[in-house]
Amino acid sequence: MRAKELVTKQGKKATANSILYLDMDGVLADFFAVYSKIAGVENYKDIPPAKVDPTLDSLVGTDFFAKLPKFPTTDQVVNLAVKYAGKYSICSSPLRGDYANSEKHKKIWIKQNLNPLPKTIEITPNKAQFATNGQTPNILIDDKRTNIDAWEKAGGIGIKYQADEDPVILIQNELDKAYGRTSLREDKFDRCFEYAEQLFNRAKEKGLDAEL
């Protein structure tokens, strides 16, 4: 089986009508660094369960989301989205118990930090409602596994990516698969396979035992 065939059989494919959504926190904005600092720990994973709710509650009514720093890779991620889809949109969750205020400050952050700006901005606790565009699967790049799982279950294409843990090349590789493109490595694989196939056929023609 060729590399191209492997890619094609991965499942749903994006089209020119697919909308590419980027999550904000954890993908473009460094939520975790500031969140950890407020909780008094080095890493957000070290926040005790009993401290999670009080820490999140302390953000209610503040401009927390407007002041988050960009990741060093944010512009690269946006440029990749534009390269593949021509444009991109934002799909981000609001802070629980502070929907309107957190939406307001997320939009302020987006306006101040992203260029080009997204086509649309969806701030919603139910991201999966945007998983398809008619019969066409949309794409979500998100750091939260539960969001990705719900998105895919609803018919979309999910890419799990967290900027402080994953390389940007992960997004490129997954978008190649989503759009059915062949990466450089896959091109090399195909050329090697074709060369091996030629050798196999020549061996057969000469009556030699050969297996491929």
Express each pLDDT in 122-156 by its tens digit.
999 999 999 999 999 999 999 999 999 999 999 99
Give dist(CA 62, CA 78) in Å, integer: 27
Q: For the chain, report the end-to-end CA distance as a whole number of angstroms.
A: 11
Q: Is the pLDDT score of 201 beyond 90?
A: no
Whether the model clears a pTM of 0.75, i.e. scores above it, the answer is yes
Give dist(CA 29, CA 125) in Å, integer: 18
Confirm if 182 and 4 have CB atoms less than 8 A apart. yes
Structure tokens at 105: 């400050």
Give dist(CA 106, CA 210) in Å, integer: 62
Give dist(CA 81, CA 88) in Å, integer: 6
18-73 residue pLDDT tens: 999 999 999 999 999 999 999 888 888 888 888 888 999 999 999 999 999 999 99
What's the chain's average pLDDT?
A: 87
Q: Is the pLDDT score of 10 beyond 50?
A: no
